[in-house]
Amino acid sequence: MNKPSLYTCLSPALLNLYDVNNSIVVVIDILRATSTIATALYNGAKAVIPVDSVEKCIRLGKNMECITAGERDGRVAEGLQYGNSSFEYPRNFIAGKILILTTTNGTRLLHMALTKGATEIITGSFLNISAVCGHLISMKKNVILACAGWKDKANIEDSLFAGAVVANVKTHFEISCDASHIAECLYRQAKDDLYEFMKTNNASHYHRLTGFGLEKDIRHCLTENLANVLPYYVDERLVVREF
Amino acid sequence: MNKPSLYTCLSPALLNLYDVNNSIVVVIDILRATSTIATALYNGAKAVIPVDSVEKCIRLGKNMECITAGERDGRVAEGLQYGNSSFEYPRNFIAGKILILTTTNGTRLLHMALTKGATEIITGSFLNISAVCGHLISMKKNVILACAGWKDKANIEDSLFAGAVVANVKTHFEISCDASHIAECLYRQAKDDLYEFMKTNNASHYHRLTGFGLEKDIRHCLTENLANVLPYYVDERLVVREF
């Protein structure tokens, strides 16, 4: 039997080059949307509703009993209650609640994948990498690893995660995609210490976030399986998919 | 004094994200447009005229005493005389002549850079890497390393060349660009044997061209400084820039 295909899309601006409506799309925004989504769901949030504008976030927040959160350019957006750090969503705060989240790059990409008719949308981060890889292997469907990047440019941390997934699942897929090989090569060189790799390679997001005092956040977001659930998009929200 | 900036653009579809009209653009299409351009000029061609369509190539060829050449999807395009291999342009054939060239990705990217008002356009390949790096260092201007890729997707060989340039010139530039760091990291891992790296990492172009029996072409295009001239775009043609 032919293996399903796997592609890595390094920027949202390239998503139209891929056969989205015949694929599972893994939305990747390591710093920090998809890390925060995994954490909130792992800690018992009923759902995360990703929205593409601060205004919509505020409006939905008024209609529902929930937390409104999000950032623009790496900081809490004006008018919202919380930001985009996993540490803001411990179990004793978020369990049983709904989180409405808007971020600069990640939620926008998710809505792009939705508009283009993705077969299924899940979110990936190092915090839930095993759940993501296990799911992709079990589904036996075509996959697009979709990196959110930064304002349509490729970034190191999302590419690293795509590379980590490629390294884990590659024997199960047909990979005729240079971007996947580039990402895996990057991951191979970085995997012994992802944080140090980000630092020594001058990752632009490393500088942006450490400028805000967020070293601890970065280290957390680069750690595997601390929130190993599978966020799955259904009925306009991300919920935990049970196996 | 502030250093000029250097960016790597991994796909023509991302070129609009960069400040093209304030930069030197290095057009990169290793397999094989920019390698062929360097070779033809090194071997004494008077000029290479890059055009974006086969029709235009044929039409110009009728008006001028020159060679019409080009490929579509890796093969000689119908109606043209020659293809896109360096080996077709030895000195005893090309010296003193004008080559009109159209290729799938490289010439299209050059025209995009032109339309967006690049300060200067040069072409880069491993065959003329020292000339390119020396020029970039001496100019002290902002630089965009523009990869032609394959049908708007990133590819390994163009990214490798961008990474090689970054490795060579980085102390002279401010590089706040993850794509440049990704490319350099790729090059670091590949540099001991670029051909073997292409092969073991399943570069899609490696497969495409070896399918046409072009292993020798690939090896040639990955060799440094065999045609060390600086192709420079002026008056709708590429000519050798003398220092």
Are A229 and A127 within 8 A, CB to CB?
A: no
Distance of CA A109 to the CA centre of its chain: 10
Query: B123-181 pLDDT, tens per residue?
Result: 999 999 999 999 999 999 999 999 999 999 999 999 999 999 999 999 999 999 999 99
Q: How confident is the model at residue A243 (pLDDT cuts 50, 70, 90)?
A: low
| B21 at A interface, C-beta within 8 A | no
Q: Using the CB atoms, write b or e for A132-158: b if 16+ within 10 Å.
A: bbebbeeeeebbbbbbbbbebbbbbbb
A106, pLDDT greater than 90: no
pTM of the full predicted structure? Answer: 0.95
What CA–CA distance (Å, rounded) separates A163 from B235? Answer: 43
B243, pLDDT greater than 70: no
Of A14, A156, A201, the CB nearest to B153: A14
Q: Which of A242, A235, A233, A241 is nearest to A106 (CA)?
A: A233
SS3 of residue B142 by DSSP: coil
Question: Cα-Cα-Cα-Cα dihedral of B124, B128, B129, B133, to 10°?
Answer: -80
Please indicate whether, in this complex, the C-beta atoms of B181 and A156 are within 8 angstroms of each other.
yes
Strands B75-76 and B66-72 turn out to be antiparallel
Nearest CA in chain B to A154: B179
Q: How confident is the model at residue A196 (pLDDT cuts 50, 70, 90)?
A: very high
Query: What are the distances in angstroms from CA B198 to CA A43, B192, B222?
Result: 44, 12, 10
| B177 at A interface, C-beta within 8 A | yes
**Residue B93 pLDDT:** 96
Six-digit token pair at A10? 């390094």
What CA–CA distance (Å, rounded) separates A131 from A158? Answer: 17
Give percent above pLDDT 90 in chain A.
Answer: 81
More confidently predicted of B203 and B33: B33
| B178 at A interface, C-beta within 8 A | yes
What CA–CA distance (Å, rounded) separates B40 from B48? Answer: 8
Burial class, A108, CB count within 10 angstroms (exposed 0-12 / middle 13-18 / buried 19+): buried
Identify all chain B residues contacting A175, using CB atoms and an 8 Å cutoff.
202
| ipTM for this prediction | 0.94
Beta bridge partners of B24: B120, B143
CB atoms within 10 A of CB B18: 21
